[in-house]
Amino acid sequence: MEYIKEILAVNIPASVAVICLIGYFWGMAAVFIAKPIKNAESFSIKPVDNAGKTEIRVYYGGISFALGAFLLYLTLALGTPVYSLVGGLFFATTVLVTRTIFLFVDKGWKCPYTKLAIPAESFFVIALWICFILSKVLY
């Protein structure tokens, strides 16, 4: 436990961001593994059969868990949260940019999920970038 405290103290803005990223990924994993259909439908996704239900659990649940676990491992293995934050930035920024591009290609801007996802993801990405900049300026 002392080792974890030392790592988190190495760079506080990066630590806060990584804790939020891990919490986000593990939270997504929990909701998609526990109730895949209910949660997928709120994302405008609906499986056509039980294999689709499993795929939702695997890709939204399993991969989310793995991403969070990898960020934790990377932080502990390297003794700093900065590289995990960079990985989270790649992921979150890519998702936001791709969503924004295909929002226009697929004409999905009127969909209820999109109206929630774009501002929420934008806020999250901006917050991560602020943490990254602070991690470089302050440490």
Domains of the chain: which residue ranges?
A: 2-138
Contact 1, 69 (CB under 8 A): no
Asked if the model's pLDDT at residue 1 lies above 90, the reply is: no
Structure tokens at 138: 């302050």
Query: What's the whole-model pTM score?
Result: 0.91
- The share of the chain scoring above pLDDT 90, in percent, equals 87
Closest CA to 75 of 134, 135, 123, 126: 135
Asked if the model's pLDDT at residue 3 lies above 90, the reply is: no
- How many CB atoms are closer than 10 A to CB 123? 10
Least confident of 2-6, 61-65, 70-74, 131-135: 2-6
Q: Which residues contact 71 (CB under 8 A, 6 or more apart)?
A: 18, 21, 22, 25, 84, 87, 88
